[in-house]
Amino acid sequence: MVPLATWIAWPNLPATGTPSPLFDGSSVYPATTLPFQPQSMGPAIEIPARISHVQIVDLDGDSHPEILACDALAHRLLSYKRSADGEWIEHQISSDMATPAHATVVDIDNDGDLDILVAILGNTFPDDSHVGRVLLLERNGDRYLRHVLLEGTRRIADIQAGDLDGDGDLDLAVAEFGYARGRVLWLENLGQRRFRDHQLLYAPGTINVPLADLDGDGDLDIIANVSQDDEEIWGFENTGGGRFKKRLLHKWLNFDIGGSGMITADLDKDGDTDLLVTVGDNLEYAYTYPQPYHGCFWFENTGEWSFTVHRISTLGGAHAASVTDLDGDGDNDVVLVSMFNAWHHDESASLVWLENDGHQQFTHWQIASEPTHLVTVATGDLDRDGRPDIVAGGWHVIPPFRRLGGVSTWLSGSGDRK
Amino acid sequence: MRRRRLILLTVLLGIDVVFFGWCILERTSRPAPPRPPAEGIVDSETARDFQRLWVLAENPGPADMLALGQAYAVYGFFPEADQCLQRAIALRPEAAANWFWSGLVLNRLGQTARSTERLLEAARLDPDRVDECRYIAARNHLRDDSLAKAEDEVRQIGPDHLAGQYLLAYLMVHTDRSAEAMPILDRLIARFAQVHRLYQLRARAEELLGDDEAARRDRETAERVPESIATDAVADHLGEKSYEFGLERRIVAAGRLNTPGNLDALANELTTILSISYRPRIARLLASIELRRGRSDAAVTLLKQLIRRDGATSDTLIELGLAMDAAEQDLTQVLLVFQQALQYQLDPEICRLMSPFVKDSAANVDRLEALQKHAEGLQAFRENRLDQAVTLFEAAAPVAHQRQAESNFFLGECLWHLDRREAALEAYRRCLELRPHHGRAADRIGYVDQIEQVDRKGEG
């Protein structure tokens, strides 16, 4: 009887044991004690947004900062301006722009107002055809006139402006990301909105081309973050007269590392320009997971084109960085966003700040776990209270599609500043 | 006697109860298969499939735990997939697939050492997987900054595995051993002449060896060969397997309905799928089905919604233009949609579609035809069909349109690569006349001058 009953019941016996704990690779940090007030800009998000770039800038010169955002889903450039009653009002600066990737605000024609250079990707998804453009939105009173400065190129990810050949006008550095093929260019300003393109590097996947006087010789050099077939940081030393010497500053042989962004900043306040590089891109996967090598590197400028590389963060899926003194203690802190944390877990960090102890030793503090999929971040005093605020943009092309956000701000409050 | 029997029976029954009770307790104390936090993350169809697989895996047959692990993995629940696959290995350690999938999932979790261990066991059990397992293992070593181990692994990969051979050459070029890499790259290029990354890597090696001219030639060739190398092996496996589970499986099944007599059933099924979870490619497919069913207004609505939700692309805009035309909407609006599509992609197909709408002036027709030739020329150039490209750019170049300078530049490029230097120079000069700040044309002319000077010195 007993064996028969056991035999009959055997396939239907429930499993009631305790499973072994699951692996957890998500990046979660202690909650910050700095007070922040989160807010979403614009209408409520119904459709997964694709904000490719945000920045804080006083576009109209009225001493009230605005947020400038590239909306790569609706193909438009937006600004958010605070009204007298404290409401943020959305303005469309330009539309029908074929996937704007990055906007650079600069007085390109030296007429006293701020124009906008827009890097046109042409296609969000991998594409090697000539769909990229360098667009100029020339400010003319309250309007912007659109000019194409360069076309017939592959996808353009970044444009920066500066006098690169020492002739007094503004030239451009351009990241032609492409896909399997791409280049780093500089565009020589010939006047009357004509620019002659010069190739500096033939390599696909350049994300950023910031300008800085890296060697302290008084002119602007170009730095390029290349992240496709190779994962490399290149410097182009300005040797005068529109000539550049190519220097490989760093390379990772781990080409899964996923270079995602680079900014310049004097992080240690020693008077030279350092680099901050985020790694954490995983776009080749339909579903992503943070990797142990993701995070942020500080490239400490030690002079003579040499850099000491310090890993300062392990934030999974890190995608962008901004430097500011967030806690008001006189040193530079770092704000990071994540695009690819373990979003199945509600507590995974999307926005963190790294508290600097004054000796570039950093402690992670979590500011937010939503919205998820943040790819761009900027800091600045949005509400003119003397404290830096944070703005970030969400890029939702990979599931899960919940805890969505477009342009979001975190205004710093006046409570305990740790 | 009866009493002794009774005692014996009681003892036997007691032993039975104790033994089988212990068996039942052991059985029920096994851990349940993991359940991911799927609610609100996966759609209802996929959640149902998870539940079906979970029930099977609770009392697993030989492949049930593997199937549940794979289903979790392809939908991004890697920690849960890891646990399932560990159990699959415990149940059937002789099955290579269990080790292989465990290796893939651990790779995604960033557990590189464990991933490599599993992959190498899979390779031991299944000789057909050896090269692929070693390739992913080598990538794992690189993710750990273990260059020597990566190279050791990749050296054991067979000569037919393109990604592996490329990686070997890549590691050499990037560790100051370009001279060693050159014979490998030469051999690969001889065999895979249409793969652009091989030329790009050889160009890097040549540059490091000081041969800038050879590097330049290889980079130019890389512009004109179309194929790439599949280096995302893990992503590819996960992607391919996704069609076996959840809503993706239903989508594949719906595809089988795509026959002329079945359009109504297919449209209904696609509508249901879209209501379960919005997938841009399903919306596009449904729009095309609606168009075939003569429901052009429905197609227009679907495509406009697709653009709002997934952004405009040239493909979607082309389809929208066609649907609007079929729905007999305002022709000016249709033309605007095609013009917008051209902004996103210079595609000869768009030019062809636009041509019936621009018959208002001969100049516009000529411009559009020239643009079409230019776009076709670019296609031919990228595929290294240089003679055809020359004909197309020659047809495009004389017509006054915005890309005239560019047509002349690419005409020059084609002629240059066909060794017709004088004609090429003429085309570059024409390009510069039209756009004096065309950097690449100016560089080319400067380069030719440089070569000619060298040639003259040589002759002197």
Q: Which residue has the higher pLDDT, B458 or B262?
A: B262
C-beta of residue A316 within 8 angstroms of C-beta of residue A340: yes
Residue B69 has which token pair?
Answer: 């692990």
Calculate mean pLDDT across residues A149-155: 91
Question: Distance (Å, rounded) from C-alpha B326 to C-alpha B264?
Answer: 19
Share of chain B above pLDDT 70, in %: 97
Query: CA A191, CA A174: separation in Å to the nearest integer?
Result: 18
How far is A407 from A377, CA to CA, in rounded Å?
Answer: 10
pLDDT category, B388, cuts 50, 70, 90?
Answer: very high
Q: Which residues from chain A sit within 8 angstroms of residue B142, using beta carbons? A: 253-256
User: Cβ–Cβ of B75/A122 closer than 8 Å?
Assistant: no
Q: Is the pLDDT of residue B221 over 90?
A: yes
pLDDT digits (tens, 9 = 90+) for A222-269: 999 999 889 999 999 999 999 999 999 999 999 899 999 999 999 999
Using a CB-CB cut-off of 8 Å, the residues of chain A touching B346 are: 129-131
Helix/strand/coil (H, E, C) string of chain B? CHHHHHHHHHHHHHHHHHHHHHHHHHHHCCECCCCCCCCCCCCHHHHHHHHHHHHHHHCCCCCHHHHHHHHHHHCCCHHHHHHHHHHHHHHCCCCHHHHHHHHHHHHHCCCHHHHHHHHHHHHHHCHHHHHHHHHHHHHHHHHCCCHHHHHHHHHCCCCCCHHHHHHHHHHHHCCCCHHHHHHHHHHHHHHCCCEHHHHHHHHHHHHHCCCHHHHHHHHHHHCCCCECCCCCHHHHHHHHHHHHCHHHHHHHHHHCCCCHHHHHHHHHHHHHHHHHCCCHHHHHHHHHHHHHCCCHHHHHHHHHHHHHHHCCCHHHHHHHHHHHHHCCCCHHHHHHHHHHHHHHCCCHHHHHHHHHHCCCCHHHHHHHHHHHHHHHHHHHHHCCCHHHHHHHHHHHCCCCCCCHHHHHHHHHHHHHHCCCHHHHHHHHHHHHHHCCCCHHHHHHHHHHHHHHHHHHHHHC
pLDDT, tens digit (0-9, with 9 covering 90-100), for B73-100? 999 999 999 999 999 999 999 999 999 9
**Cβ-Cβ contacts under 8 Å for A100 (sequence gap 6 or more):** A52, A53, A70, A71, A72, A75, A76, A77, A118, A119, A120, A121, A135
Q: What would the DSSP string read from start to end of A135-155?
A: EEEEEETTEEEEEEEEEEES-
Residue A73 and residue A90: Cα distance in Å, rounded?
Answer: 16
Query: What is the DSSP-derived secondary structure letter of residue A302?
Result: -
- Out of A124-128, A140-144, B118-122, B439-443, least confident range: A124-128
Sole residue written with tokens 């002794």: B4
Residue B14 has pLDDT above 90, yes or no: no
Q: Who has greater pLDDT, B320 or B228?
A: B320
The 10s digit of each residue's pLDDT in A319-370 is 999 999 999 999 999 999 999 999 999 999 999 999 999 999 999 999 999 9
Evaluate the CA torsion angle B375, B306, A137, A170 in order and state its sign.
Answer: negative
Q: How far apart are the C-alpha atoms of A297 and A314, rounded to whole Å? A: 9
Residue in A250, A127, B207 with CA at minimum distance from that of residue B199: B207
Q: What are phi and psi of A350, to 5 degrees?
A: -110, -25
Average pLDDT, chain A: 94
pLDDT digits (tens, 9 = 90+) for A21-35: 899 999 999 999 999
Give residue-wise pLDDT tens across range B125-156.
999 999 999 999 999 999 999 999 999 999 99
Q: In this structure, how many other beta carbons lie within 10 angstroms of the beta carbon of residue B400?
A: 10
Average pLDDT over residues B303-308: 96
The answer to whether A60 touches A11, Cβ cutoff 8 Å, is: no
Q: Kindly determine whether residue B27 and residue A10, on different chains, have CB atoms separated by under 8 Å.
A: yes
On whether any CB of chain B is under 8 Å from the CB of A179, the answer is: no
* Over residues B16-33, mean pLDDT: 82
The Cα angle at residue B50 between residues B48 and B51, in degrees rounded to 5: 65
Task: Work out the average pLDDT over A72-77.
Answer: 95
Rounded Cα distance between B415 and B431, Å, is: 14
* Contact yes or no for A36/A413 (Cβ under 8 A): yes
> Token pair for residue A328?
């008001």
Name the amino acid, one letter, at B204.
Answer: R
The pLDDT score that the predictor gives to residue A14 is: 77
CB contact under 8 A, B142 and A254: yes
Per the model's pLDDT, the better-predicted residue between B16 and A31 turns out to be A31
Helices (H) and strands (E) in chain A, counts: 1, 29
Partner residue opposite A75 with nearest CB, options B30, B311, B442:
B311
Confirm if A173 and A185 have CB atoms less than 8 A apart: yes
Cα distance between residue A224 and residue B402, in whole Å: 31
Candidates B80, B223, B442; nearest CB to A22: B80
> Going by DSSP bridges, is the β-strand pair A211-212/A206-208 parallel, antiparallel, or unpaired?
unpaired
Q: What is the mean pLDDT of residues B17-41?
A: 83
Dihedral (CA of A287, A292, A294, A296) sign: positive
Please say if the pLDDT value at position B186 is more than 90: yes
Q: Check if B31 contacts A (Cβ < 8 Å).
A: yes
Residue A131 has pLDDT above 70, yes or no: yes
How much is the average pLDDT of A124-151?
A: 92
B439 phi, psi to nearest 5 deg: -65, -45
Q: Name, in order, each residue with C-beta under 8 angstroms of B392's C-beta and a sequence gap of 6 or more.
A: B373, B374, B376, B377, B380
The partner residue sitting opposite B41, judged by closest CB among A5, A16, A400, is: A400
Contact between chains at A99 and B311 (C-beta distance less than 8 A): yes
Cα–Cα nearest to B296, from B327, B264, B275: B327
Long-range contacts of B388-392 (CB under 8 A, 24+ apart): B389/B414, B390/B414, B390/B415, B390/B418
Q: What is the pLDDT of residue A418?
A: 47
| CB neighbour burial string for A22-47, b if at least 16 within 10 angstroms, e if fewer | ebebbbbbeebebebeeebbbeebeb
Q: What is the pLDDT of residue A199?
A: 95
Does the beta-carbon distance from B31 to A19 stay under 8 Å? yes
3-state secondary structure of A221: strand
Number of neighbouring beta carbons within 10 Å of residue B258: 15
CA torsion angle for B200, B203, B204, B208 (degrees, to 10)?
Answer: 180
pTM for the structure as a whole: 0.93
At B97-114, the pLDDT tens digits run 999 999 999 999 999 999
| Amino acid letter, residue A174 | V
Neighbours of A98 (CB within 10 A): 25
Would you state the pLDDT for residue A415?
Answer: 54
* Residue B183 CA: distances (Å) to CA of A66, A130, B135: 57, 33, 20
Residues of B with Cβ-Cβ distance to A290 under 8 angstroms: 110
Query: Cβ atoms within 10 A of the Cβ of B172, count?
Result: 20
A16, A174, A309, A401: which to substitute to probe chain B, counting the most B Cβ within 10 Å? A16
Task: Tell how strand A259-265 and strand A274-279 pair up.
Answer: antiparallel
**How far apart (Å, rounded) are the C-alpha atoms in residues B251 and B458?**
67
Chain B contact for A3 (CB, 8 A cutoff)? yes
Other C-beta atoms within 10 Å of B81: how many? 28
Angle between helices B130-143 and B162-173 (to 10 degrees): 30
Q: What residues of chain B lie within 8 A of the CB of A13, using their CB?
A: 24, 27-28
Contact between chains at A289 and B343 (C-beta distance less than 8 A): no
Q: Is B39 exposed, middle or buried (0-12, 13-18, 19+ CB in 10 A)?
A: exposed
- Report the 10 Å Cβ neighbour count for B22: 10
Confidence of residue B258 (pLDDT cuts 50, 70, 90): confident
